[in-house]
A and B are shown apart, each in its own frame.
Chain A
Amino acid sequence: MKIEIITPDHTIYEGEIKSVRVPGRKGSFQVLKDHAPIISTLDPGPVYIVEQDNREVTYNIDGGVIEVRANRIILLTESVK
């Protein structure tokens, strides 16, 4: 499963991951392999990524939108802290 976290200034993160948890508008949710296609807006909050080697990476995003489709995740956010 591949994820890209993109801001207008640059691509923050790109790579193969096991799972990601994002702060969805209707509550935080986790995306695992073969997740159903979804488009959701995101609240400001933390994004937890679990990489292939089980390492955890966290980003604090300033809201945004996520699109999941065919094991490709694209997360658009305006800024990352």
Chain B
Amino acid sequence: MANLKAIRLRITSVRSTRQITSAMKMVAAAKLRKAQDKIVRLRPYAGKLHEILVHLTQSLADADIKNIYSRQESPEKILIVAITSNRGLCGAFNSNVVKEVKRLITETYHEQYKNGNVEFLAIGKKGYDSLRKMKLNIISENNELLNDLTFEKVSALAENVMNAFVSGDYDRVELVYNHFKNAAIQQLTTEVFLPVETISEEGKAAAHVDYIYEPDKKSIVRELIPKSLKIQFYKAVLDSFVAENGARMTAMHKATDNATEMIRDLTLQYNKARQAAITGQILEVVSGAEALK
């Protein structure tokens, strides 16, 4: 029979672990809500920008929309942006991204990888660490970005990536991140960031309004496309951040449940051991008294 003191010690330690996991769950839940608010606040901007773009592109010929961001070539030089988290304890969140990156370099971009033409940009310390262990060519890490997520910082990074694409450093840029479906489900997403695919969404032939365009339709579209790209990038980072906190919340919830279960089992074991000990003591007393007769 396990000794009483050892069981008592384990119960105490599991209890304090439970306290920590349940606190972490609360923190993740609060952060999740805050991050979701950010996405909600992004929506009017993103929605309106998209609306204007769709509206404009409908009235323009395809050739006019072609721009520096839609250079279509057979992809030779690839940049993969892997968005993960800075902290662990969030289930398979980070390893899913790393797995997908592995899949990309062994399947989709195997040729380019063999020629050493696949580079990586890591957002999030966990992903950075794993990619570095795989000896991949990481051009930059942007871990502090996630500590204080604002559009300004993310758009500066997006701009760097876009400039690198325009100057021909890369032919293709892909984003790998977790899309937030709900707190329990993260959907791993691989998204082509550049080149831009033509904006094909058919708006419901919006009530036709004769706008005055200043300076003119073409230049407006040219100016808005980079803006909408930045929004796309920001959205991906935010989405991943929300998913991270959702994943952590779920993971910590499970950990708390497991700890509760464990405490129950241990308490039962403890009581059994205690009863056995008492029974043993009584037996000793009784048989001792018996022997005196």
Is B49 interfacial (CB-CB < 8 Å)?
A: yes
Q: In the complex, what's the smallest C-beta–C-beta distance from B224 to chain A, in angstroms?
A: 6
Contact B223–A41 (Cβ < 8 Å): yes
Contact B152–A79 (Cβ < 8 Å): yes
Is B7 interfacial (CB-CB < 8 Å)?
A: no
Kindly report which residue of chain A lies nearest to residue B212, judged by CB atoms: A38
Query: Which chain A residues in 28-81 approach chain B with CB under 8 Å?
Result: 36-41, 65, 67, 69, 74, 76, 78-79
Contact of B45 among A8, A38, A69 (CB under 8 A): A8
Is B215 interfacial (CB-CB < 8 Å)?
A: yes
Mostly, the B contact residues are helix
Contact B214–A24 (Cβ < 8 Å): yes
Query: Which chain B residues in 46-62 approach chain A with CB under 8 Å?
Result: 46, 48-49, 52, 56
A7 to B41, CA, bound (A): 9
Kindly report which residue of chain A lies nearest to residue B46, judged by CB atoms: A8
Kindly report which residue of chain A lies nearest to residue B223, judged by CB atoms: A41
Is B44 interfacial (CB-CB < 8 Å)?
A: yes
Is B189 interfacial (CB-CB < 8 Å)?
A: no
Contact A40–B213 (Cβ < 8 Å): yes
Contact B213–A6 (Cβ < 8 Å): no
Jot down 21 A-B pairs with beta carbons below 8 A, ordered by A: A7-B45, A8-B231, A9-B38, A9-B41, A9-B42, A9-B150, A9-B151, A24-B214, A25-B214, A26-B214, A37-B209, A37-B212, A38-B211, A38-B212, A39-B214, A40-B214, A41-B215, A41-B219, A65-B52, A78-B152, A79-B152
Contact A39–B44 (Cβ < 8 Å): no
Is B155 interfacial (CB-CB < 8 Å)?
A: yes
Contacts from B to A (Cβ < 8 Å): 38, 41-42, 44-46, 48-49, 52, 56, 150-152, 155, 209-215, 219-220, 223-224, 227, 230-231, 234
Kindly report which residue of chain A lies nearest to residue B154, judged by CB atoms: A8
Q: In the complex, what's the smallest C-beta–C-beta distance from A10 to chain B, in angstroms?
A: 5
In the bound complex, residues from chain B placing their C-beta under 8 Å from that of A36 are 212
Q: A26-B214, A41-B219, A41-B223 are in contact. Are A76 and B151 (CB under 8 A)?
A: no
In the bound complex, residues from chain A placing their C-beta under 8 Å from that of B152 are 78-79
Top-4 shortest CB links A-B: A40-B214, A8-B151, A38-B212, A37-B211
A contact residues, range: 20 to 34
In the bound complex, residues from chain A placing their C-beta under 8 Å from that of B234 are 8
Kindly report which residue of chain A lies nearest to residue B238, judged by CB atoms: A8
Query: Which chain A residues in 5-31 approach chain B with CB under 8 Å?
Result: 6-11, 24-26
Q: Which of A26, A36, A41 has the most CB of B within 10 A?
A: A41
Contact A78–B214 (Cβ < 8 Å): no
New A-B contacts (14) at CB < 8 Å, excluding given A9-B42, A67-B48: A8-B151, A25-B219, A37-B211, A38-B212, A38-B214, A40-B220, A41-B214, A65-B227, A69-B209, A69-B211, A76-B45, A78-B152, A78-B227, A79-B151
In the bound complex, residues from chain A placing their C-beta under 8 Å from that of B214 are 24-26, 38-41
Kindly report which residue of chain B lies nearest to residue A36, judged by CB atoms: B212
In the bound complex, residues from chain A placing their C-beta under 8 Å from that of B155 are 8, 78
Contact of A11 among B44, B209, B212, B219 (CB under 8 A): B44
In the bound complex, residues from chain B placing their C-beta under 8 Å from that of A24 are 214
Kindly report which residue of chain A lies nearest to residue B220, judged by CB atoms: A41
Kindly report which residue of chain B lies nearest to residue A79, judged by CB atoms: B152
Contact A26–B52 (Cβ < 8 Å): no
In the bound complex, residues from chain B placing their C-beta under 8 Å from that of A65 are 49, 52, 220, 223-224, 227
Contact of A6 among B45, B223, B227 (CB under 8 A): B45
